[in-house]
A and B are shown apart, each in its own frame.
Chain A
Amino acid sequence: MSSSAGPNANPIILAARKYAWRYVGNVAFWIQRFTGLALVAYLIVHVHTIHDLRDPETFDAALAMFGKPLFKLAEIGLLATVILHALNGIRLTMIDLGVGLTRQRQAFWYFAIGLGAVLFLAGAIPMFIYGILRHS
């Protein structure tokens, strides 16, 4: 028998092991919480911009500003936020309905993250090409 019991308990590896699979529901919870808060903040700012429809000049100035590459990049970030919140939201709703409770970790990785990445790329690539590369 070997005199050493196994790999050293590196705190980083232990934490990764813990949160990447065993406690991944907790990670999903925090993602849902922070993306949700970000979306509420965005919603309020967004409605504020739309309110400027009452004043066409301000509105067009605002739109011109949002057309800048920096804001287009932020918009791609918004897409990622929405996709994460939506797909994880579907996962949570299934859990609420009592579907797939024993497979919630797979649902997080394959559905929310995996499918989410595919959807994100499908949306982000055209947004990047039309919004940033073709800009000006």
Chain B
Amino acid sequence: MTGRAINWYLQRITGAALLVLLVMHFWVEHFSAEARTPTGLTFEIIQRRFFNNHWFVAVDLSFLFIALYHGLNGVRNILLDYTWGVRMKKPITAMLLLLGVFVAYWGVTAFIGNPHLQQISTTITANR
């Protein structure tokens, strides 16, 4: 097994995983009872849901990481299909890695260490 073979293999595995996660994600965001309110999703609903169920965070974050890997690896594959892409492989990989880390940071900090989500959680804990 080499890196390239594993990369190829992982692209398939993450694709299959995304299929499952995506159905869950779409269901939760578009068809679940909470999302079908007249106003649609709001910060409030999301906040309530995330506080009540940490699985949402877990699923959404794993969705984010897997989708980022699958997507950026796909972009890398596309670039390597060009003669110049293979020549510039190292900078391309580095750039995509950087972009991935950056977007992942955006996503993670939306939930973890978010002062607004934090605030409610302490209030509710106090009320109990």
Residues on A facing B (Cβ under 8 Å): 33, 36-37, 39-40, 43-44, 47-48, 50-56, 59-60, 63, 67, 82, 86, 89-90, 93, 96, 123, 126-127, 130
Contacts and interface: CB of A to CB of B under 8 A. Distances in A.
B46 interface: yes
Contacts, number: 70
Interface string B58-89: 00000010011001101100100000000000
A116 to B, nearest CB: 13
Interface size class of B (residues with CB under 8 A): 20 to 34
B74 A36 contact: yes
B110 A54 contact: yes
B5 to A, nearest CB: 12
Contact of A47 (B12, B15, B78, B106): B106
A113 B19 CA distance: 17
Given A36-B74, A37-B78, A53-B117, A89 B107 contact: no
Contacts of B26: 123
A33 B103 contact: no
Contact of A93 (B15, B109, B111): B15
